[in-house]
Amino acid sequence: MEPKLIAPGDVKRVGVVGGGVIGIGWVLHYLRMGFDVTAYDPMPEARVRIQSMVDDTWPLMVDLGLRPGASRDRLTIVSTLSDAVCNADVVQEAVPEVPEMKTKVFAEMDKFAPSHAVLLTSTSGISMTVIQSESEHPERMVVGHPFNPPYLVPLVEILGGARTAPAAVEWAREFYSLNEKDPIVLEREVPAFIASRLQEAMWREALHMIAEGEATVEQIDISVRQGPGLRWAITGPMMNFHLAGGPGGMAHVLDHFGPTLTEPWTRLVAPELTDELRQRVIDGCDREAAGRSVADLVAERDRCLVAIMRARDAIQIPNAGKAPGSASGVPA
Amino acid sequence: MEPKLIAPGDVKRVGVVGGGVIGIGWVLHYLRMGFDVTAYDPMPEARVRIQSMVDDTWPLMVDLGLRPGASRDRLTIVSTLSDAVCNADVVQEAVPEVPEMKTKVFAEMDKFAPSHAVLLTSTSGISMTVIQSESEHPERMVVGHPFNPPYLVPLVEILGGARTAPAAVEWAREFYSLNEKDPIVLEREVPAFIASRLQEAMWREALHMIAEGEATVEQIDISVRQGPGLRWAITGPMMNFHLAGGPGGMAHVLDHFGPTLTEPWTRLVAPELTDELRQRVIDGCDREAAGRSVADLVAERDRCLVAIMRARDAIQIPNAGKAPGSASGVPA
C-alpha cells in the first residue's frame, strides 16, 4: 500500500522513542535542526538523563550552528509512548537491540502515530522485515541507522523491509539529506548493513591480535589513529588505495597487490579477485574521482591530512601516543 | 654483537634507497627534518621523478614547518647504491616488496654504509629475519614501516629480526620519535605487522561486499569517511568502543555486545571472548584513559569531531558524498 506522507521539508515535530545514548543523540540533532521534539523512555530515571545530556551538549550544538528557531526549550519529555508519537510528523526509534522489543514497539507506535508519519528505527542490524512484522502499516517503516554520536556523525544507513513502500525509503533519504545527514540507501538487507560490517571486521582482527599477544590495545589505537585512520576520515578505504596506486590508481593496486590477497594478512579469508570484481572496484573509484587525476586527489588528501591533524592535535590530549616506548610491553 | 651507533640526535645525513612513492616520501620527510639526504634508485627515469615530486610537495613541507636549516637543496640524487649510503648516519630503504631483492639490497648496503649507521627497511610485511639473512652486520638492521604518505602520516611500525640487536630497535624508536614520527615497537614478528592487518581485514570485507553486490565502492567510502572513519582518526577502534559504552566503558561493551561476536557480522570469524581477553582489553582502555572519565573523553572526542570535519570539509571537494541518491544503484 502507498503511504500518504507529507513532504520531508514540512516536518515540524519529531518523536524520539528510547532515551539511551543514541536516542538522546537524535534528540540533540533534531532540536538543532529546529524541530519540536517529544522524547519518551519507559525508565523513570530517563527523564533526568535525557535533560542533563541535552543541557551538557547544547553548547556544542550552538557552536555547530542552530537552524532558525532551534531551541532546547522545544524538547518535551513525555511519559507515554503514545504522547511521544501522536503528534509527530516522523518518529525515530532507539530502544535496545532486541528483535521482539523493536517489533512490539513498532506495532504500538503504528497505532498512535499520524498516518502521514514515517517511522524510523535506529537498529544497527535487526531486519526491518522482522521489525514491521506485527504492524498494520508496515509500508511506512524504514531503517535509519545512525553512528555514534548521532548529533555529529553524518552517516545514516537506510533500507526498508519486505513490506516497506519504496516511497517511504525515498522519503527517509530526502528527510535526512535535508537535515545535514549523509544517507546511503542499501539495495538489500545484509546483516549489520555496511559500515558496521567493516568496523566489525577490524574489531575482530584487533581482538585476535590482543588475544594472541601480537599487539596491545594501545598499539592498535595508535596504529589506526596515527596511521590509516587519518586517511579513512578523508578518502574512505577504497579511494585510499586508488591514491596509493600512483598514476595507475586502483587498477595498478589490484594488479600489483592482488596476489597478496592470498597471504596471511588478517584472519579474514580473501574473496577471489575475479575480472568482474576487479572491474567493479576500478569503475567505482573512477566514478568517485569524477575526472580528477590521482595527483590532484593526492594533493587534496595531503592538504586535508595536514588540516585534520592540526585541528585534532590542537584539541586532543594525546594518550595512546604519549609514551610509545611503554606501548611495546604486551601485557602477559 | 652490539652495534656501535651514534646518538639518534647526532644524525646529519640520511641515505634513502628506492625512489618510488614511499622512498620519495621519506626523502621529503628527512629534508624537512633538516638532514642532508642522498637518494638512489636504479631506474634512469627516477632522478626526474624524485626531483619533481620533491619540488611539487615542498610548499606543503614549508607550510608544515621546516626544522632549522632544512632545505630541499640538501638533496643529492646519486647514481650508485654505495654513493647513497657510504656517508649516511642512517639509511631508509624503500625498494619493491620482493624478499630476494630486499635481502640482496641489505647485504649490499651493509658493505658500504658506515659501521655506526642503522639500516631501516620500509617493508610492509617481509620478515626482517629474511631481509638480514645474507648480511654481515644484521644486528643493525630494523624494520621502520611507514604509512603513505610518509611525509605526513606519523605512524612507523618498528621491529627487529632474529639477529637484530635490541639496541638498534631502541635506536630506531628514539630516532623516529625525535623526528616527528609516532613509532610503535612490535614484540614479535607477525605477518604484515599491526596496522596493515587491520586495514586488510576491512579491505577484504569491502571486497566481499562489492563482489556480492551488497555495497558499491562509493557506499563503502561514504560509510567510512562519514561514519566510523571519523572516529578512528580521533580515538582508534578500541577507545572508540570504550566511549560508546557509557559510564561503564569497554567493560560494558564487552559484556553487552560480546554475544553478538558470534553473529554473521563480517566474514571474519570471531575470537573466543575469554575472561583473559576481556580483561586485557579493559585494562588497555583504562591505561589509555589515564584517569579520564568516559564523559570527559566523549566531550573531547566531540570537539575533535567538529574540528576535523570542519577542517576537512573546508578543503575537500566532496565526491562520494555528493549525490547520495545515486549511490543506491548497486552495479549489476
Alpha-helical (H) ranges within B137-214 are 166-178, 195-211
> How far off is chain A from B112, nearest CA to CA, in Å?
31
> How far off is chain A from B210, nearest CA to CA, in Å?
7
| Residue of A182, A263, A267 lying closest to B269 (CB–CB) | A267
Mean per-residue pLDDT, B313-317: 75
pTM: 0.90
| Residue of B188, B195, B309 lying closest to A228 (CB–CB) | B195
CB within 8 Å: A191 and B283: no
CB within 8 Å: A206 and B237: yes
B169 pLDDT higher than 80: yes
At residue B195 the predicted structure's pLDDT band, cuts being 50, 70 and 90, is very high
Phi-psi region of A180 (alpha: psi -120 to 50; beta: other; left: phi over 0): left
CA of residue A225 relative to chain centroid, distance: 19
Residue B236 near residue A202 (C-beta atoms within 8 A): no
Amino acid identity, position A291:
G
| Residue of B148, B232, B266 lying closest to A232 (CB–CB) | B232
Task: Kindly identify which residue of chain A lies nearest to residue B206, measuring between CA atoms.
Answer: A198
Cα separation of A143 and A141, whole Å? 7
Residues of A in contact with B256 (CB under 8 A): none
Cis previous bond, B149, omega within 30: yes
621502520: which residue's cell?
Answer: B144
CA-based torsion, B291, B292, B294, B297: positive or negative? negative
CB within 8 Å: B196 and A265: yes
The CATH class, in words, for A199-328 is: mainly alpha
> Three-state SS across chain A?
CCCCCCCHHHCCEEEEECCCHHHHHHHHHHHHCCCEEEEECCCCCHHHHHHHHHHHHHHHHHHHCCCCCCCHHHEEEECCHHHHHCCCCEEEECCCCCHHHHHHHHHHHHHHCCCCCEEEECCCCCCHHHHCCCCCCHHHEEEEEECCCCCCCCEEEEEECCCCCHHHHHHHHHHHHHCCCEEEECCCCCCCCCHHHHHHHHHHHHHHHHHCCCCCHHHHHHHHHCCHHHHHHHHHHHHHHHHHCHHHHHHHHHHHHHHHHHCCCCCCCCCCCCHHHHHHHHHHHHHHHCCCCHHHHHHHHHHHHHHHHHHHHHHCCCCCCCCCCHHHCCCC
**Pairing state between β B182-185 and A118-121:** unpaired
The answer regarding whether domain B195-328 maps to CATH 1.10.1040 reads yes
- Which set of grid coordinates corresponds to residue B214? 551488497
> How far off is chain A from B255, nearest CA to CA, in Å?
14
Q: What mean pLDDT, rounded, does chain B reach?
A: 90
> How far off is chain A from B278, nearest CA to CA, in Å?
9
- The predicted complex's ipTM stands at 0.91
Residues of B in contact with A149 (CB under 8 A): 298, 302, 305
Element (H, E) at B282: helix B275-289
Q: Within a 10 A sphere around the Cβ of A52, how many other Cβ atoms? A: 11
CB within 8 Å: A308 and B235: no
Residue ranges in chain A modelled with pLDDT below 50: 320-332
Residues of B in contact with A271 (CB under 8 A): 204, 207-208, 211
CB within 8 Å: B280 and A217: yes
- pLDDT at position B32 is 98
CB within 8 Å: B183 and A221: no
> How far off is chain B from A154, nearest CA to CA, in Å?
6
Mean per-residue pLDDT, B3-20: 95
- pLDDT at position B318 is 55
- pLDDT at position A288 is 87
- pLDDT at position B271 is 82
CB within 8 Å: A226 and B154: yes
> How far off is chain A from B72, nearest CA to CA, in Å?
19
CB within 8 Å: A209 and B194: yes
CB within 8 Å: B239 and A320: yes
CATH topology of domain B8-185: Rossmann fold (3.40.50)
Strand partners, A183: A156
User: What is the full DSSP assignment across B194-250?
Assistant: THHHHHHHHHHHHHHHHHTTSS-HHHHHHHHHTTHHHHHHHHHHHHHHHHHTGGGHH
Mean per-residue pLDDT, B31-40: 98
Mean per-residue pLDDT, B186-213: 92
Phi-psi region of A317 (alpha: psi -120 to 50; beta: other; left: phi over 0): beta
Task: Kindly identify which residue of chain A lies nearest to residue B97, measuring between CA atoms.
Answer: A257
Each residue's pLDDT tens digit, B71-116: 999 999 999 999 999 999 999 999 999 999 999 999 999 999 999 9
B331 pLDDT higher than 50: no
Fold match, B8-185 / B195-328: no
> How far off is chain B from A189, nearest CA to CA, in Å?
8
Amino acid identity, position B129:
T
| Residue of A199, A307, A325 lying closest to B312 (CB–CB) | A307
Residue B172 near residue B142 (C-beta atoms within 8 A): yes
Phi-psi region of B291 (alpha: psi -120 to 50; beta: other; left: phi over 0): left
Mean per-residue pLDDT, B160-176: 97
- pLDDT at position B22 is 95
Cα separation of A104 and A83, whole Å? 17
CB within 8 Å: A315 and B302: no
At residue B273 the predicted structure's pLDDT band, cuts being 50, 70 and 90, is confident
| Residue of A21, A154, A314 lying closest to B226 (CB–CB) | A154
- pLDDT at position A325 is 34
**DSSP reduced 3-state for B59:** helix
| For helices B228-244 and B249-257, angle between their N-to-C axes, nearest 10 degrees | 90
Question: What are the boundaries of each domain within chain A?
Answer: 8-185, 199-328
**What's the first-to-final CA gap in chain B, in angstroms?**
60
At residue B317 the predicted structure's pLDDT band, cuts being 50, 70 and 90, is low
**DSSP reduced 3-state for B252:** helix
Closest CA to B252 of B243, B261, B260, B262: B243
> How far off is chain A from B262, nearest CA to CA, in Å?
11
Q: What percent of chain B has pLDDT over 70?
A: 94
- pLDDT at position B1 is 62
CB within 8 Å: B219 and A184: yes
Task: Kindly identify which residue of chain B lies nearest to residue A282, measuring between CA atoms.
Answer: B217
Cβ pairs bridging A and B (under 8 Å): 428
